[in-house]
């Protein structure tokens, strides 16, 4: 039985939530066969034109593929594919992220976090076979993201297997044009603008719940595979409890900023597929509800 998301601690939910809203910072097989369940895909229609909105998980396991038939059909029907950002630029994103996450001057991690937290980071990195010296110039939020990524990779969750990477590769092979809704620099700035206190808190919470993150991500992916938007929405609400301003910056404000660009797709000559983090599709200010409020016909596939 899947443990209810709401019973987990806030930071594990927050860390997992990041996997559904950001391409930059960072399985079980999808349903197959004759009988199909819902997927995390919606068709939005206006006149004779359709835009398919697919909620993405940016890190997946290799055995996540093939995806459900409804998702594959939507890709086949789409004449272009739109992502949060240009997936081809993600290789350079690591350089930008590392630069933004580097402490200035002579400051080290030991100077900007409490001694107890620094000692715990050192211990946890030692468990992973790494020395804290290699992380001494990182800002706390960068250390937190790095350690989260290590845990994901150890569990088999890879950015190279994410939904975005998969469909970008497919679009290239099929000669379908791609575009992004925002720049890599903008995504990096969302973390770089964290205050020192937010940065240290993020690291502390990440360490506290790192051991239970993977079971939650497993549950998350299981909900995604069957299109369980209610469970994903519960993650959204609980994961950002106490972080409302950050939620607005990472999710709501970006949804509103993307909406005109998505609406423009209905004026195009071909149907389009939009692939964005799954949390952008759910909730009262999610893209699905925003498009419904605009009068578009919306159907979960």
Beta-sheet pairing, 178-180 with 297-300: unpaired
Q: Quote the CA–CA distance of 19 and 25 in Å, as a whole number.
A: 8
Q: Quote the CA–CA distance of 97 and 100 in Å, as a whole number.
A: 5
State pLDDT tens for residues 60-80.
999 999 999 999 999 999 999
DSSP lists the bridge partners of residue 43 as 52, 299
Q: Quote the CA–CA distance of 265 and 51 in Å, as a whole number.
A: 7
Is residue 2's pLDDT more than 60?
Answer: no
The mean pLDDT of the chain is 85
Q: Quote the CA–CA distance of 24 and 89 in Å, as a whole number.
A: 10
Q: How confident is the model at residue 175 (pLDDT cuts 50, 70, 90)?
A: very high
Q: Quote the CA–CA distance of 17 and 132 in Å, as a whole number.
A: 26
Residue range 127-145: mean pLDDT, rounded: 92
Beta-sheet pairing, 178-180 with 80-83: parallel
**DSSP 8-state code for residue 53:** E
Q: Give the side-chain half-sphere CA count within 13 A for 172.
A: 9
Beta-sheet pairing, 297-300 with 41-46: antiparallel
Q: Where are the domains of the chain?
A: 20-90+157-191+211-300
Compute how many other C-beta atoms are within 10 angstroms of the C-beta atom of residue 156: 15
Is residue 296's pLDDT more than 70?
Answer: yes
Handedness of CA 70, 75, 81, 84 (dihedral sign): positive
More confident residue, 146 or 235: 146
Task: Give the DSSP H/E element, type plus range, for residue 180.
Answer: strand 178-180
Is residue 19's pLDDT more than 70?
Answer: no
State pLDDT tens for residues 92-125.
677 788 889 999 999 999 999 999 999 999 999 9
DSSP lists the bridge partners of residue 60 as 158
State pLDDT tens for residues 176-216.
999 999 988 888 888 888 888 888 988 987 888 788 888 88
Q: How many residues does the chain have?
A: 301
Least confident of 106-120, 153-167, 252-266: 153-167
């Amino acid at each position: 039985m899947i443990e209810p998301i709401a019973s987990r601690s806030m930071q594990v939910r927050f860390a997992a939530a990041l996997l559904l809203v950001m391409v930059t910072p960072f399985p079980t097989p999808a349903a197959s066969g004759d009988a199909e369940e819902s997927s995390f895909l919606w068709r939005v229609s206006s006149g004779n034109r359709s835009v398919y909105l697919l909620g993405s998980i940016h890190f997946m396991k290799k055995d996540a593929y093939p995806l459900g038939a409804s998702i594959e059909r939507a890709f086949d029907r789409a004449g272009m594919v739109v992502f949060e950002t240009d997936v081809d630029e993600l290789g350079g994103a690591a350089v930008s992220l590392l630069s933004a996450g580097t402490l200035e001057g002579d400051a080290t991690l030991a100077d900007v976090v409490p001694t107890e937290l620094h000692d715990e980071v050192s211990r946890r990195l030692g468990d992973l076979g790494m020395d804290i010296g290699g992380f001494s110039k990182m800002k706390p939020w960068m250390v937190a993201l790095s350690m989260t990524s290590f845990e994901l990779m150890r569990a088999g969750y890879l950015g190279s297997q994410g939904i975005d990477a998969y469909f970008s590769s497919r679009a290239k092979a099929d000669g379908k044009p791609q575009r992004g809704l925002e720049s890599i620099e903008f995504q990096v700035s969302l973390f770089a603008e964290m205050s020192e206190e937010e940065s240290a808190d993020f690291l502390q919470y990440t360490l506290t719940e790192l051991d239970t993150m993977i079971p939650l991500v497993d549950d998350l992916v299981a909900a995604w595979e069957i299109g369980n938007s209610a469970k994903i929405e519960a993650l959204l609400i609980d994961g950002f409890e106490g972080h409302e301003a950050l939620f607005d910056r990472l999710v709501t404000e970006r949804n509103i900023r993307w909406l005109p660009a998505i609406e423009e797709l209905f004026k195009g000559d071909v149907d389009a597929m939009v692939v964005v983090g799954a949390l952008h599709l759910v909730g009262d200010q999610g893209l699905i509800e925003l498009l419904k409020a605009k009068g578009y016909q919306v159907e979960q596939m």
